[in-house]
Chains A and B, each alone.
Chain A
């Protein structure tokens, strides 16, 4: 038996994909490695990617405004215009990226999945949900169960794979 690195489901040896979470299981040719090659030469169509810097900052979403602070590089990413945002990275051949593309923040090397997590704002409350990412999501050091929403407080440290973000929430 082999264990799915993503969701710990057990599969028979020789299985190509996890039957529970759909992750690719084969070694030597897994998604991560083939993407490594892809991203090396990828030319992204910048028109397709929703560039964060082009977005208006600080617009109120319901009653709460979320800004993500990328701790390693010091940038601030305001989330605005919607009440739900997917976080992840755009990869080649993927027609639609996440709402917030973290490719520019070295997301790939930091182990961020293509659709890694979702931040939702509901009635002034902010929640984060891990979307079954390969390397998991931590909030203040605690790993989230995939697909279970967890409330997010101002100042919480969110780690997607290894990428550290701080949630700044203004009411």
Chain B
């Protein structure tokens, strides 16, 4: 059977039913990203030419029709069902602002043939001085274990960085010289500062060498430090990664790393960051990640909604898998959908003013994703979130249990976030009060050790007006792990 994976639709990342505007926009986006003047990466020129070729055919209706005839039958079904649950059945016609929670569950429809999608993986390892000893040894062991588990078709690259970056293993099929790769990893020596941007940039370059539509492009960043002065450059690179379909996942070791920054960095690409206090958890984390990647059904899952006037997203959160706070701006990168579990997100929508109609569209737009096992991976479908508007107050049904349960757990996570905001704003009393309320809830749920940490930090704020770095991370990731389904392990 001829290989159709490199077809023109896949090259442009558009669905089979793309309109001419979509073809044009996809080309312009790709050209802006890949044009040799703008992009010095090694693979960019080749990619640019391939995109150009695809565009020239697909933009011409007649050539496109002829081209379509050469393709085998195309599966253009959605492959995913969307289940939307609202906290209220109706909005109230009231002059006051109101909130509504919208929970969206994306559930894959299992296909008969389960093929795991090949990976294009880059592991970016912090080798700054602070990684010396245990940490470095465990990271090396974890990296080697990952390398051994890769499939022969996967691409692998490994980059290390301190205040500069070195490509330890350039992107290649992992089956090419497993032994050599392992010895390269073993020879890694710690030393130097921490400049994350250098590592990210080098890692991203390696991934771009083999940016293929039918591959999962992932970068694992492992660091124990804060980066100084290059945060913005890192975030710009994350935007570029998102646009190219590369997901960045972060693993922070110990207490020194900047969790807020790593959360933002990974969040924009649809990845997440994890806190590991015990170096021995590193291997477990990486193996779990790899296992998840091998079960990916859809990737680059993006929700691009336009909010109605007078509506704002106050809060967005991915409840599962891998609970993570999401940015509130669109487009929203939701990460992957695994074949054995759905993806669930929740929005807190703030409605400033109710529309004068009997029904109000809160937001609408498109939901798009790629199913890498398909010849034409990109799928997109319109989505609209709307609610009827009522006059009467008595009509409200109680909110669905599903939303209440999710929000009761998410509220605890948000309480610690808000306590930190209180603290930053100098509202000491408010911050400690909130933390003590949080501790009460944790006690009631049997989270005694987390509650003790929270109370300890509340006391510390009163005395010293600050949180300890360790306590802060423990509370954040501890309350976040409450959102995990039972039995899925701490923090991962």
List the interface of chain A (C-beta within 8 A of B).
1, 7, 11-17, 19-22, 24, 26-29, 86, 88, 94-96, 114-115, 131-132, 146-147
Give the docked Cα–Cα distance between A14 and B445 (Å). Answer: 25
Q: Which of A11, A94, A115 has the most chain B CB within a 10 Å cutoff? A: A115
Which residue of chain A has the shortest Cβ distance to B434 in the bound complex? A20
Which residues on B sit within 8 Å (CB–CB) of A86? 443
Give the docked Cα–Cα distance between A146 and B436 (Å). Answer: 9
Which residues on B sit within 8 Å (CB–CB) of A24? 404, 408
Which residue of chain A has the shortest Cβ distance to B415 in the bound complex? A22
Give the docked Cα–Cα distance between A146 and B440 (Å). Answer: 11
Q: Which of A22, A26, A96, A131 has a CB less than 8 Å from the CB of B448?
A: A96
Q: 16 interchain pairs (CB within 8 A)?
A: A12-B98, A14-B88, A14-B99, A14-B101, A16-B403, A20-B434, A22-B415, A22-B437, A26-B398, A26-B404, A29-B398, A29-B401, A86-B443, A88-B444, A146-B436, A147-B436
Give the docked Cα–Cα distance between A28 and B88 (Å). Answer: 12
Tell me how far the C-beta of B57 lies from the nearest C-beta in chain A, rounded to whole angstroms.
Answer: 50
B438→A95 contact, CB < 8 A: no
Give the docked Cα–Cα distance between A24 and B441 (Å). Answer: 12
Tell me how far the C-beta of A108 lies from the nearest C-beta in chain B, rounded to whole angstroms.
Answer: 14
Tell me how far the C-beta of A28 lies from the nearest C-beta in chain B, rounded to whole angstroms.
Answer: 4
Q: Is B433 an interface residue (CB 8 A)?
A: yes
Q: Which of B99, B397, B438 has a CB less than 8 Å from the CB of A22?
A: B438
Which residues on A sit within 8 Å (CB–CB) of B96? 1, 12-13
Give the docked Cα–Cα distance between A27 and B87 (Å). Answer: 12
A22→B98 contact, CB < 8 A: no
B407→A22 contact, CB < 8 A: no
Which residues on B sit within 8 Å (CB–CB) of A7? 437
B433→A147 contact, CB < 8 A: yes
Tell me how far the C-beta of B105 lies from the nearest C-beta in chain A, rounded to whole angstroms.
Answer: 18
Q: Is B92 an interface residue (CB 8 A)?
A: yes
Which residues on A sit within 8 Å (CB–CB) of B350? 12
The 0/1 profile, CB within 8 Å of A marked 1, for residues 382-393 of chain B is: 000000000000
B411→A17 contact, CB < 8 A: yes
Q: Is B100 an interface residue (CB 8 A)?
A: yes
Tell me how far the C-beta of B393 lies from the nearest C-beta in chain A, rounded to whole angstroms.
Answer: 10
A12→B436 contact, CB < 8 A: no
**Interface positions of B from 76 to 108, Cβ below 8 Å from A:** 87-88, 92, 94, 96-101
Q: Which of A20, A115, A146 has a CB less than 8 Å from the CB of B444?
A: A115
Q: Is B264 an interface residue (CB 8 A)?
A: no
A94→B398 contact, CB < 8 A: no
A146→B437 contact, CB < 8 A: yes
Give the docked Cα–Cα distance between A92 and B418 (Å). Answer: 29
A22→B412 contact, CB < 8 A: yes
Q: Which of A19, A29, A94 has a CB less than 8 Å from the CB of B411?
A: A19
Tell me how far the C-beta of B13 lies from the nearest C-beta in chain A, rounded to whole angstroms.
Answer: 38
Tell me how far the C-beta of B257 lies from the nearest C-beta in chain A, rounded to whole angstroms.
Answer: 28
Known contacts A14-B99, A16-B408, A94-B446; 8 further A-B pairs (Cβ under 8 A): A13-B94, A13-B98, A19-B414, A19-B418, A21-B437, A22-B412, A96-B448, A147-B437
Q: Is B399 an interface residue (CB 8 A)?
A: yes
- Contacts A17-B408, A94-B445, A132-B440 given; does A26 touch B399 at CB 8 Å: yes
**Interface positions of B from 399 to 429, Cβ below 8 Å from A:** 399, 401, 403-404, 407-408, 411-412, 414-415, 418
A14→B98 contact, CB < 8 A: yes
B99→A115 contact, CB < 8 A: no
Which residue of chain A has the shortest Cβ distance to B351 in the bound complex? A14
B407→A28 contact, CB < 8 A: no
Which residue of chain B has the shortest Cβ distance to A29 in the bound complex? B398
- Contacts A22-B415, A86-B443 given; does A16 touch B97 at CB 8 Å: no
Which residues on B sit within 8 Å (CB–CB) of A11? 99
- Contacts A12-B99, A16-B87, A17-B407 given; does A132 touch B448 at CB 8 Å: no
Give the docked Cα–Cα distance between A132 and B432 (Å). Answer: 13
Which residue of chain B has the shortest Cβ distance to A33 in the bound complex? B398
B438→A16 contact, CB < 8 A: no
Q: Is B396 an interface residue (CB 8 A)?
A: yes
B440→A12 contact, CB < 8 A: no
Which residues on A sit within 8 Å (CB–CB) of B404? 16, 24, 26, 29
B99→A95 contact, CB < 8 A: no
Which residues on A sit within 8 Å (CB–CB) of B99? 11-15
Give the docked Cα–Cα distance between A67 and B91 (Å). Answer: 52
Give the docked Cα–Cα distance between A126 and B411 (Å). Answer: 33
Which residues on B sit within 8 Å (CB–CB) of A16? 87, 101, 399, 403-404, 407-408, 411
Tell me how far the C-beta of B458 lies from the nearest C-beta in chain A, rounded to whole angstroms.
Answer: 9
Tell me how far the C-beta of B357 lies from the nearest C-beta in chain A, rounded to whole angstroms.
Answer: 19
Which residues on A sit within 8 Å (CB–CB) of B398? 26-29
Which residue of chain B has the shortest Cβ distance to A23 in the bound complex? B437
- Contacts A22-B411, A28-B398 given; does A96 touch B446 at CB 8 Å: yes
Which residues on A sit within 8 Å (CB–CB) of B408? 16-17, 24
Which residues on B sit within 8 Å (CB–CB) of A22? 411-412, 415, 437-438, 440-441
Give the docked Cα–Cα distance between A17 and B348 (Å). Answer: 12
B415→A19 contact, CB < 8 A: yes
Tell me how far the C-beta of A47 lies from the nearest C-beta in chain B, rounded to whole angstroms.
Answer: 15
Which residues on A sit within 8 Å (CB–CB) of B351? 14
Tell me how far the C-beta of B434 lies from the nearest C-beta in chain A, rounded to whole angstroms.
Answer: 6
Which residue of chain A has the shortest Cβ distance to B439 in the bound complex? A131
The 0/1 profile, CB within 8 Å of A marked 1, for residues 255-293 of chain B is: 000000000000000000000000000000000000000
B92→A13 contact, CB < 8 A: yes
Give the docked Cα–Cα distance between A16 and B434 (Å). Answer: 17
Which residues on A sit within 8 Å (CB–CB) of B412? 22
Which residue of chain B has the shortest Cβ distance to A6 in the bound complex? B437
Give the docked Cα–Cα distance between A64 and B218 (Å). Answer: 62
Which residues on B sit within 8 Å (CB–CB) of A14? 87-88, 98-101, 351
Which residues on B sit within 8 Å (CB–CB) of A94? 444-446
Which residues on B sit within 8 Å (CB–CB) of A88? 444
Tell me how far the C-beta of B399 lies from the nearest C-beta in chain A, rounded to whole angstroms.
Answer: 6
Give the docked Cα–Cα distance between A29 and B397 (Å). Answer: 9
